[in-house]
Amino acid sequence: MAEELSKLEDIERQIAAAKRQKLALECKTDFLKFIKFTMPTVADPNNIEESVFKDARHHRAIALALEKVSKGKIKRLIVTLPPRHGKSEMVSRRFIPWLMGKDPYKSIIFATYNEDFGQDFGSDCRAIMSMPQFSQVFPKFTFRQGGASKSRIQTDNGGMAVFVGRGGSITGRGGDVLIVDDPIKDSVEAMSPTLRENLWSWFTQVFMTRLMTERSKVVLVTTRWHEDDLVGRLTDPSNPHFTEEECSKWKIINLPAFAGDNDPLKRKEGEVLWPERFNKDFLEAQRNLDPRGFSALYQQQPSPEDGDLFQRDNVQYYEKRNLPKDLKIYAASDHAVGIDKTRHDLTCLLIVGVDENEDIYLIDCWWSRQPSDVVVKAMLELMRRHKPLIWWAERGHISKAIGPFLRKRMFETKTHCRIEEVTPVANKVQRSQSIIGRMAMKKVYFPKVSAWSQKGIDELLKFPNARHDDFVDTLSWIGMGLGQLHSPGGKLKSTGGLFPKVGTIEWVKWQTTMDSLEQKKFASGF
């Protein structure tokens, strides 16, 4: 009996060893499994079913993206997410050992906000690569004798990982993979224009020049502090450092604590990123404690200090499930017409609902810099989706940008929407008065969780000193249009009977048949 038990135990050990070996083989290609394999529980380090690392959906998304980086399918990757959500554990501590285990010939350069912190990551990586679990996954990996250093790891195959602080010298070194983790330490650093400029100069003129070949990869993982940080400069069209060519090179994964629209994880709006660790009550408490800080750190939507005209305290929010019924729907647009391309102005299309108390609810927004055909497509889609009663725009803007094509597509698609053009005053501040008063009375409501909503609020708070005012102008057309519509004795502008009313189907048909400039000069609409 004892002999049979001994044989059974031996078989069980063989099975366990086989399972462990199978998992070790899978870890060579599956980064998430590698993380869990090299983070065993203290109580039972040989138990492959248990790990200290408890992964969530965002970890799996990041791991998949990093696997694509290792294969060369992604050459530029930006990941933004809240603090304490596992980014450094995955990217700075585990990704580097995994890369070097897979390819001990690789050269990796890692940078963070200061040298001491960078060296700490170097020590952590060396400790992981010294674990028996790592050796089981990569049994042929060996360190170079005498290559031990806090800031450098060297392999017997000529590979190397260098760990530096922001602004540190890396002259003479090239990298197959360049990694930046949190280049800004805190809000004090983030608020310094000098530091942000120095960081940008170092990143573009030093760090990015270390790319070994055109096949080299770059990973930037960070929590955002400021709208003018590295991520802002690389990806935000409103930032003067932004270029479409450079932005197109980057795969961007933005993971806010509360899901907004177009969430990369397909979460429902308002759904928490990591509820097992940071639940909704905790996050709401953080938001109430410091709304501006929460917007940056947790939602990855950094916003400016309060401006002079629009105040943060006057911003009202609503949750989509509580949107009032029986709203009157209106629309407005501001078109990037005849503007210096270096300014990177955008076209903004805005849908709002107005209740019986004339409270304004911002419902939908399309905000982009695209050619005319794409803008027209977006307008038609918003018209079909929301069926606005009136669409307001600055006089001359639609006709200059998209007039003939819009008329043609409205006719072809049988899309009907009344379009009224607004004649604004030249002064943008005076123009904005149409909405400033409503905001001050707290009668303008923004979706609580929405990337475009926060972006619009940021522009309002910067106004009139912001680089751009696309959203402010669009909202101003709404205010001016409503003011004209609802003022005592106010009437919508009439065409005087010379031709069909602007925006009607009859008008679309009539405009389509016009082929003479002499006829067109009578048009007071488009």
pLDDT in tens, 271-300: 999 999 999 999 999 888 887 788 889 998
Q: What average pLDDT does range 495-521 have in this prediction?
A: 44
The predicted pLDDT at position 292 comes to 77
If one compares 340 and 98, the residue with the highest pLDDT of the two is 98
Mean pLDDT of 389-398: 83
**pLDDT reading at 342 higher than 50:** no
pTM exceeds 0.75, yes or no: no
pLDDT (mean) for 130-147? 89
Which segments of 409-495 are extended strands (E)? 418-422, 444-447
pLDDT in tens, 212-248: 988 999 999 999 988 889 999 999 877 888 888 889 9
pLDDT of residue 511: 46
pLDDT of residue 88: 93
- Residue 393 predicted with pLDDT over 90: no
How sure is the predictor about 521, in pLDDT bands with cuts at 50, 70 and 90?
Answer: very low
Stretch 117-133: mean pLDDT, rounded? Answer: 94
127's tokens? 């400790």
> 454 pLDDT exceeds 50?
yes
Q: What is the mean pLDDT of the chain?
A: 84
| pLDDT above 70 coverage of the chain, percent | 86
pLDDT of residue 494: 38
The pLDDT, as a whole number, for residue 125 is: 95
Q: What is the pLDDT of residue 465?
A: 66
More confident residue, 397 or 358: 358
- Give the tens place of pLDDT for each residue, 62-74: 999 999 999 999 9
Query: Which of the four pLDDT bands, split at 50, 70 and 90, describes residue 339?
Result: very low
Of 154-163, 199-208, 403-412, the range with the lowest mean pLDDT is: 403-412
The answer to whether residues 460 and 432 touch, using CB atoms and an 8 Å cutoff, is no
CB 251 within 8 A of CB 78: yes
Region 501-520: mean pLDDT is: 44
Predicted local confidence at residue 338, as pLDDT: 52
Sign of CA dihedral 315, 332, 400, 523: negative
Rounded to an integer, the average pLDDT of 477-490 is 72
The answer to which of 147-156, 165-174, 303-312 has the lowest mean pLDDT is 303-312
Phi and psi torsions of 145, nearest 5°: -65, 130
Q: Which H helix or E strand runs over 405?
A: helix 403-413
Q: How far is CA 149 from the centre of its chain?
A: 37
**Is the model's pLDDT at 306 over the cut of 60?**
no
Whether the per-residue pLDDT at 425 is higher than 70: the answer is: no
User: At residue 328, does pLDDT exceed 60?
Assistant: yes
Task: List the single range of 1-10, 317-326, 418-427, 448-457 with lowest mean pLDDT.
Answer: 1-10
CB–CB of 261/450 below 8 Å?
yes
Distance separating alpha carbons of residues 426 and 25, to the nearest angstrom: 68
pLDDT of residue 321: 85
Q: Identify the pLDDT of residue 439.
A: 87
Q: What is the dihedral of CA 198, 201, 202, 205, to 10 degrees?
A: -160
Q: Is the confidence at residue 84, as pLDDT, over 50?
A: yes
Q: Which of 511, 232, 285 is nearest to 398 (CA)?
A: 511
pLDDT of res. 506 = 52
> Greater confidence, 503 or 122?
122
Beta carbons of 292 and 313 less than 8 angstroms apart = no
For the record, the structure tokens of 396 come out as 């001359």
**Which domains can be identified in the chain, with CATH numbers?**
2-254 (3.40.50), 308-520 (3.30.420.240)
Instruction: Say what the pLDDT of residue 503 is.
Output: 47
Structure tokens that stand for 244 in this block: 């479409």
**pLDDT over 50 (residue 526):** no
**Mean pLDDT across 503-523:** 43
pLDDT surpassing 60 at residue 199: yes
Percent of the chain at pLDDT above 90?
Answer: 48
pLDDT tens figures, 20-64: 899 999 999 999 999 999 999 988 888 888 899 999 999 999 999
Closest CA to 184 of 176, 194, 174: 194
The whole-number pLDDT of residue 421 equals 81
Which residues, listed in sequence order, are joined to residue 160 by a DSSP beta bridge?
Answer: 107, 154
Question: Sign of the C-alpha dihedral, residues 247, 248, 252, 254?
Answer: positive
Select from 247, 241, 180, 236 the least CA-distant residue to 208: 180
SS3 state of residue 183: coil
Residue 156, pLDDT score: 92
Return the minimum-mean-pLDDT range out of 91-100, 316-325, 397-406.
397-406
